[in-house]
Amino acid sequence: MLLGRVVGTLVASRKETTLEGLKFLVLKQLDIEGKETGGYRVAADAVGAGLGEVVLYATGSAARQTKYTHQRPCDGVIMAIVDLLEVDGDVKYDKSREG
Amino acid sequence: MLLGRVVGTLVASRKETTLEGLKFLVLKQLDIEGKETGGYRVAADAVGAGLGEVVLYATGSAARQTKYTHQRPCDGVIMAIVDLLEVDGDVKYDKSREG
Amino acid sequence: MLLGRVVGTLVASRKETTLEGLKFLVLKQLDIEGKETGGYRVAADAVGAGLGEVVLYATGSAARQTKYTHQRPCDGVIMAIVDLLEVDGDVKYDKSREG
Amino acid sequence: MLLGRVVGTLVASRKETTLEGLKFLVLKQLDIEGKETGGYRVAADAVGAGLGEVVLYATGSAARQTKYTHQRPCDGVIMAIVDLLEVDGDVKYDKSREG
Amino acid sequence: MLLGRVVGTLVASRKETTLEGLKFLVLKQLDIEGKETGGYRVAADAVGAGLGEVVLYATGSAARQTKYTHQRPCDGVIMAIVDLLEVDGDVKYDKSREG
């Protein structure tokens, strides 16, 4: 899994029929320090993530292992909202301290 | 999923038999600002996308989760046509404003 | 899928037993202009491609969705021979015009 | 599989329900010399790895082939703790010599 | 598939239980000229490859399509030992001429 920050939304009225009802969020990829890498991903939301939140997302076939995405043409899913990220003994991200 | 713009078509008369009837479109990959990244992908079309449209495409095994691509040797599928892309509060792409 | 040009062959007498009879071809990856990118791939041949031909190849689990590669340890397959590639209104490759 | 060093942990109270009980560790990717590459991965822990340990991790659908990760939206798993890494005749890493 | 040269071994006494008996080899990735690219991979050995040999390896779910790796958390497998690699009419590698 990789870290991302939810930065946007995407509307698509014409889509594969099985995708009806699935919410797509736009993520900026984050590195291990919580900084943006320049990459992005559009992912289905399985946890009710909100704009600005730091999340964990899975790609590939893993993205279909939720009730929302099962057997749908989806290759990215947000599967957790990050509360605390600690690396090398330092807190790199603490959701409770976000403004 | 990633964003792409449909820029071309590909004709292949000799192909794996199960691929008969599948339409392949050529996509230029887009970044989160809607700008071309230099990368591309050839993808099967599951939604009737047209030249110039901005689409969402899935890769890997996800690409076989449509009735068009099921059990076919296909690793990329266009599964949605983008109407609106909003990032960091700005509209990066609005299909209704395209010329 | 991505574009490649068949540039070589590979002989392997000692291999996983299920691979017997499978032909491996060496591909140079092509970009959307039909130019070499510097990357390569060794892929199983499902369509009888010949040296010099421009082909479309699939990777990952898609590579096992042919009768030749089913349930074999193979992560790349040539699934179509390209006749015509048209991008942004220009013909980038036309098999009938090749020398 | 690739090599990583366990450098941190991640807490996520809101997550896909099937992920309950799964422990996520933060890995810095290592190259073949045992040096950090700058990349990272968040992976589920299937072997009880500890901070500072050098591990082997698998990605993609392989990450779901353990009893801990079966049918869960997880695309990375630590599946072995490295004791000894020998490359080109040199010992690049020896767990028993670590401080 | 990609080309690699077997350059080392890895010992891991603590590992996912289903991995018992599987041999892991360290590969340096090779380009189409047979030169090292700087990348590496740790792969399970399905063909009895030896140090110094040039091999073909598969990644992703393909890596589990051998009797050794079936249903195991393994994302890379050596599935063939290369005897001869011919590219653009030149022999790039010939096992019988190796010292």
Q: Which of E32, E69, E31, E29 is nearest to E47 (CA)?
A: E69
Cα→Cα distances B45→B12, B24, B49, B50, C55, Å = 15, 6, 7, 10, 19
**Which residue range is the domain that position D58 belongs to?**
2-91
pLDDT, one tens digit per residue, over E5-40 is: 999 999 999 999 999 999 999 999 999 999 999 999
CA distance C21 to C24: 10
pLDDT, one tens digit per residue, over C61-71 is: 999 999 999 99
Residue E63: list chain C partners with CB under 8 A: 73, 75
How close B62 comes to chain A (CA, Å)? Answer: 4
Residue C77: list chain B partners with CB under 8 A: 16, 73
Cβ burial, residue D20 (10 Å; 0-12/13-18/19+) = exposed
User: Number of CB pairs < 8 Å for D and E?
Assistant: 100
- Reduced to 3 states (helix: H, G, I; strand: E, B; else coil), residue D53 is coil
- Reduced to 3 states (helix: H, G, I; strand: E, B; else coil), residue B46 is coil
> Does residue E57 lie within any of the structural domains?
yes
CB contact under 8 A, D47 and E11: no
How close B32 comes to chain A (CA, Å)? Answer: 7
CA distance B46 to B9: 14
D interface mutation test: which of A1, A3, A69, A94 has the most D CBs within 10 A? A1
> Does residue D96 lie within any of the structural domains?
no
CB contact under 8 A, C86 and B10: yes
User: Number of CB pairs < 8 Å for C and E?
Assistant: 100
> Does residue D97 lie within any of the structural domains?
no
Residue C18: list chain E partners with CB under 8 A: 65-66
Q: Which pLDDT score, from 0 to 100, does residue C58 have? A: 98
Residue D63: list chain A partners with CB under 8 A: 62
> Does residue C40 lie within any of the structural domains?
yes
pLDDT, one tens digit per residue, over D59-94 is: 999 999 999 999 999 999 999 999 999 999 999 999
User: Residue B99 pLDDT more than 80?
Assistant: no
Which two three-digit tokens encode residue C56? Answer: 């479309």
- How many CB atoms lie under 10 A from the CB of residue A50? 10
> Does residue C98 lie within any of the structural domains?
no
> Does residue E39 lie within any of the structural domains?
yes
Q: Which pLDDT score, from 0 to 100, does residue D99 have? A: 64
- Reduced to 3 states (helix: H, G, I; strand: E, B; else coil), residue B62 is helix
CB contact under 8 A, E43 and D1: yes
Q: Which residues of D50-76 are buried (b: 16+ CB within 10 A; e: fewer)?
A: eeebbbbbbbbbbbbbbebbeebbbbb
CA E74-E75-E78 angle, to 5 degrees, is 90
CA torsion through residues C91, B19, D61, E82, sign = negative
pTM value is 0.95
The total domain count for chain B is 1
> Does residue C97 lie within any of the structural domains?
no
CATH of the domain at D86: 2.40.50.220
- Reduced to 3 states (helix: H, G, I; strand: E, B; else coil), residue B63 is helix
CB contact under 8 A, A1 and D64: no
Please say whether the beta carbons of A63 and A6 come within 8 A: no
pLDDT, one tens digit per residue, over E57-90 is: 999 999 999 999 999 999 999 999 999 999 999 9
- Reduced to 3 states (helix: H, G, I; strand: E, B; else coil), residue E97 is helix
E interface mutation test: which of C15, C45, C51 has the most E CBs within 10 A? C15
Strands B76-81, B36-45: pairing is: parallel
Walk along chain A (99 residues) and give the pLDDT tens digit of each residue: 999 999 999 999 999 999 999 999 999 999 999 999 999 999 999 999 999 999 999 999 999 999 999 999 999 999 999 999 999 999 999 999 986
Residue B29: list chain C partners with CB under 8 A: none
